[in-house]
Every structure is written in structure tokens, then in C-alpha cells.
Amino acid sequence: MMRFVSVAILCAMGSTPVFACERPSAPSSIPDGATASKEDMLAAKKSVDAFKSGMEEYLACEQSTAKKDAAGAELLKVADRFNAQVKAFKAKS
């Protein structure tokens, strides 16, 4: 009987994720494209790309539709902010 209970517990543990999905933090800042150097913009791009990759992993892991929607909205907000600064950076050149 004890062996059956142990197997049942292990099966139950295997059906739920052991680690929770870890939501990445958005980049702390995006430089002003009108005044930023090329190096600043490249560093921001790396930061945004890392955030995007982390968020894609989070979205693949997360089960809650509400959390997925909020994360997707945050990802779009960061991408829009960065793209606006890239546009400003290119306009000054």
C-alpha cells in the first residue's frame, strides 16, 4: 500500500510544473534616439532582444490567459517604445 501511495504522489508531482514560469523584467531604460550614440542604441537593442527572448519563453510556459495577455501587451509596449527611438535615431543621421 505504501508503494502505491508513493507512486501516486510522484505521478501527481510530474503532472504539474516544478518551477513557476519566470516573467522577465522589461529594460529599465531606452535611450532617446535623437541624442543617443550608436553604441547606446546597440546596447538598447541587445537589452530589448534579451527581453523579447525571455518573454517568448515565459509566454510558452505560462498557462494563465490573463497573464499571457498582460505579458504580450508589455512586450508590445517595449517594442513600440524602442522602435520609436530607432526612428528618431535614424532621422538625425
- pLDDT tens digits for range 24-83: 999 999 999 999 999 999 999 999 999 999 999 999 999 999 999 999 999 999 999 999
User: Could you give the CA distance from residue 38 to residue 20 in angstroms, rounded to a whole number?
Assistant: 37
Amino acid at 76: L
Question: 19 vs 31, which has greater pLDDT?
Answer: 31
Domain ranges of the chain: 32-93
Residues 6+ apart with CB under 8 A from 62: 21, 23, 68, 71
